[in-house]
Amino acid sequence: MVSKAVAKYVHALHLKKYRLRHQAFLVEGGKSVVELLRSGLLTERVFLTAEFAAKIPSLPAKVPVEIVTEEELTKLGTLANNTTALAIARLPEELPLEPAPNKLLLALDEVRDPGNLGTLIRLADWYGLQGVVCSESCADPWAPKTIAATMGSFTRVRVWQRELPEWLDALPADLPRYGAHLEGDNVHRLDLRPGGVLIMGSESHGPRPEVLARLTQRLFIPGAGGAESLNVAVSAAILLDNFHRAL
Amino acid sequence: MVSKAVAKYVHALHLKKYRLRHQAFLVEGGKSVVELLRSGLLTERVFLTAEFAAKIPSLPAKVPVEIVTEEELTKLGTLANNTTALAIARLPEELPLEPAPNKLLLALDEVRDPGNLGTLIRLADWYGLQGVVCSESCADPWAPKTIAATMGSFTRVRVWQRELPEWLDALPADLPRYGAHLEGDNVHRLDLRPGGVLIMGSESHGPRPEVLARLTQRLFIPGAGGAESLNVAVSAAILLDNFHRAL
């Protein structure tokens, strides 16, 4: 039986304002909660159904665990139906944001859809990028929908939030700043290697003009059909694969 | 003022059962409706707000147009807020499904998320693929969420629905059947050219065993990080770019 105070706290964490105030976020679903418990992130509390608890090899020693019904779990979280697990995790401390040689940073300008943002964080994990820099106008990296779309990658990928134009201006002048553009250079004709920043814009408009103006190289993905553009995560995936062809 | 009978018909088209029965589907939002009117697809009826109607250079001559309020439009459709347009379109007639030389077909096994399906149809449009073959267990290609995610590509990309194992068995024996697999060949070491079928599986499980067993070549996307897998549209994008490097 979840206490009223705890339920109130969990419900508050549905909202960005309270995630910031409490420096905590929700992780929903068995797979994501298991990834959380295996990771270096701090966990405040875990809620499990008895059925799911029986499937986990060992429960965490230092984390309070509550066994709840599926109905209670579903009421606590944001999913339409959660039959497994929910956890409260601490927001990680922000590490220094310094571009590393031979690693790419992914910078996102106004990616407002949490599903797209989560897919991009998962992609950054796949390629072992240094991390993801989000403009303040992006979806919240710690929103339940973002966390779900990362498929566990939220435990491994570093995320920073910055005003992109100012942050880009403060970077070393010789650091490459790449971005997708319909009039850019054909990526298949370039020998791209990881290093610098790859900047991706919003779903419908691409990066804002003040961000576009700060690119040092525009990259074009050749196509042969009728679509005017690609989804932001899809474009980022194709570009990142072109940066990592030496793997 | 939309008549009760028309409103009832539009509401019925929210559901797959009635889309099939009436052989019609809904197109929502100004951009998609404009693409529909420019395309070869038959349109039964268009609903526009007065504000949006004023922005369209010319209204279609042979299609009934109703001017409605934003409130009426939002009540008719599935979007939380539609301030522009909604249309009823006829399902296109199915064309013969015969693999063409030098063109890829994209086959999708159990892609249940309409957003992913729409993104994949948009991707097929970008690369000018021959079309997309969906297993019966995929999301409905004519669902409003799928149509929205195609960003207009539903007007250009041919879609078929087939039982994949049986369909694959009936193809010419020498036609390549590619699929993503964690133990496949590194795509960066292959010289892939468009031709045959690229088969992508569901978000969480990959293709079913009976589909996997029918692949002639397994393709692996090299990564360097911690993620176990990639989103289905993201994987398809990277593979399709590798098939089209001669562009």
Domain end: B23, B56, B90, which one?
A: B90
Q: Considering only CA atoms, which of A50, A44, A42 is closest in space to residue A12?
A: A44
Q: What is the DSSP letter of B27?
A: E
Answer yes or no: is pLDDT of B236 > 70: yes
Look at residue B162 and tell me if it is in a domain. yes
User: pLDDT tens digit string along A130-182?
Assistant: 999 999 999 999 999 999 999 999 999 999 999 999 999 999 999 999 998 88
How many pairs of residues across A and B have Cβ atoms under 8 Å apart? Answer: 118
The CATH number assigned to the domain holding B9 equals 3.30.1330.30
CATH at B127: 3.40.1280.10
Flag whether B95 is in a domain: no
DSSP string, A80-117: S--SSEEEEEEPPPPPP--PPTT-EEEEESS---HHHH
One-letter amino acid identity for A43? T
Task: Determine, yes or no, domain membership for B97.
Answer: no
Assess whether A86 and A111 both reside in one domain: no
Closest to B196 in 3D by CA, of B213, B173, B222, B225 = B173
User: Is there a single domain that holds both residue A75 and residue A147?
Assistant: no
pLDDT of residue B225: 81
CB contact under 8 A, B128 and A230: no
Q: Which residues in chain A show pLDDT less than 50?
A: none
In this prediction, residue B204 has a pLDDT band, given cuts at 50, 70 and 90, of low
Decide if B96 is inside a domain. Answer: no
Q: A23-37, A180-194, B32-46, B193-207: which has the minimum mean pLDDT?
A: B193-207
In tens, the pLDDT along B68-93 reads 999 999 999 999 999 999 999 999 99
Are A165 and A73 in the same domain?
A: no
Cα–Cα distance for residue pair A105/B175, rounded to 1 Å? 40
What would the two tokens of residue B217 be?
């070549």
- According to the model, what pLDDT value does residue A101 have? 80
User: Taking Cα atoms as reference points, which of A238, A234, A198, A235 lies closest to residue A217?
Assistant: A198
Plot region of B8 (φ>0 → left; ψ -120 to 50 → alpha; else → beta): alpha
- Give the per-residue SS3 of B84-99: CEEEEEECCCCCCCCC
Contact B225 A152 (CB under 8 A): no
Whether residues A53 and A138 fall in one domain: no
Say if strands A196-200 and A177-186 run parallel, antiparallel, or are unpaired.
parallel
Nearest CA in chain A to B236: A234
pLDDT band at B203 (very low <50, low <70, confident <90, very high): low
Contact B234 A115 (CB under 8 A): no
Do A129 and A184 belong together in one domain?
Answer: yes
User: Are A113 and A228 found together in one domain?
Assistant: yes
- Pair A141, A106: CB distance under 8 Å: no
Average pLDDT over residues B197-206: 84
- B188: nearest Cα among B230, B226, B239: B239
Of B132, B120, B126, B117, nearest in space to B162 by CA = B132
Are A47 and A152 found together in one domain? no
Distances (CA, A) of B245 to A185, B65, B241, B242: 14, 44, 6, 6
Q: Is residue B168 part of a domain?
A: yes
pLDDT for residue B182 is more than 90? no
Report the share of chain B in percent with pLDDT over 70.
Answer: 99
End of a domain among B90, B125, B156? Answer: B90
Q: Is B20 in a helix, a strand, or coil? A: helix
- Residue pair A112/A203 in contact (Cβ under 8 Å)? The answer is yes
pLDDT at B49 over 90: yes
- Please compute, for residue B239, the number of CA atoms within 13 A of its CA located in the half-sphere on the CB side: 31
| Kind plus residue range of the DSSP H or E element containing A51 | helix A50-53
Pair B24, B13: CB distance under 8 Å: yes
Please check whether residues A133 and A231 belong to one and the same domain: yes
End-of-domain residue from the set A37, A55, A90: A90
| Band of residue B62 on the pLDDT scale cut at 50, 70, 90 | confident
Residue pair B109/B133 in contact (Cβ under 8 Å)? The answer is: no
Which of B115, B126, B228 is the closest to A230 by Cβ?
B126
Which residue out of B234, B242, B244, B245 would a mutagenesis test of the A interface target, given it has the greatest number of A Cβ atoms within 10 Å? B234
Q: How many CA atoms lie within 13 A of B23 on its CB side?
A: 7
Please tell me the total count of domains within chain B. 2
> Buried (b) or exposed (e) across B27-66, using 16+ Cβ within 10 A?
bbbbbbbbbbbebebebebbbbbeebbeebeeeeeebebb
Instruction: Assess whether A76 and A142 both reside in one domain.
Output: no
Q: Does the residue B149 lie in any domain?
A: yes
Which residues form the domain of B28? 4-90
Q: Is residue B99 part of a domain?
A: no
Q: Is there a single domain that holds both residue A113 and residue A235?
A: yes
pLDDT value at residue A224 = 85
Residues of A within 8 A of B122 (CB-CB) are 227, 230-231, 234
d(CA B216, CA A42): 45
Domain identity same for A203 and A109: yes
Query: Is B135 a member of any domain?
Result: yes
Give the whole-angstrom CA distance, residue B203 versus residue A43: 27
Residue B60: per-residue pLDDT: 77
Identify the weakest region by mean pLDDT among A94-98, B54-58, B117-121: B54-58
Tell me which residue in A127, A225, A241 faces B128 most closely, judged by beta carbons: A225
User: What is the spatial distance between Cα B11 and Cα B61, in angstroms, rounded to a whole number?
Assistant: 25
Q: How far apart are the first and last CA of chain A?
A: 51
With CA atoms as reference, the chain B residue closest to A233 would be B234
CA distance B234 to chain A (A): 5
What is the C-alpha to C-alpha distance for residues A220 and A2, in angstroms, rounded to an integer? 53
Could you tell me if B137 and B216 lie in one domain? yes
The pLDDT value given to residue A203: 66
**Residue B234 is nearest to which of A119, A229, A244, comparing CB atoms?**
A119
